[in-house]
Amino acid sequence: MLDERPCPLCRGAGETLVASERTCHSCGGTGRDRRSSTDDPRFSADTCQACHGYGVETSREFQLCPSCNGRGSIPG
Ligand SMILES: [Zn+2]
Ligand SMILES: [Zn+2]
């Protein structure tokens, strides 16, 4: 007899929002942009505007909940 209860990690949604970091596609991880795309003096010309100099871009996406495998409930 299986007693199921809502998954505490995704609260029964079956998916969870995770943040992932990946190498910036604009600067290749260097954080610098050699191609100056703007003349705006507020922005440094050689700082990558896509990652703001960090070299990584952070994205958030829904992934299948690892706790309940997308079922939304786990055995109690
Ligand atoms: Zn970048
Ligand atoms: Zn879950």
- How far apart CA 56 and CA 49 sit, in angstroms, is 11
Which is nearest to 66 in space by CA: 5, 8, 20?
A: 8
pLDDT-wise least confident of 1-15, 21-35, 43-57, 59-73: 43-57
- The per-residue pLDDT of the chain, averaged, comes to 86
Per the DSSP assignment, residues forming a β-bridge with 73 are 6
Query: For residue 41, how far is its CA from the centre of ligand 1 (angstroms)?
Result: 19
pTM: 0.49
Whether 31 shows a pLDDT value over 90: the answer reads: yes
Cβ atoms within 10 Å, residue 15: 14
Cβ atoms within 10 Å, residue 34: 9
pLDDT per residue over 35-49, tens digit each? 555 555 555 568 898
Ion ligand 1 — residues with CB < 5 Å: 24, 26-27, 48, 50-51
Give me 53's structure tokens. Answer: 């100099």
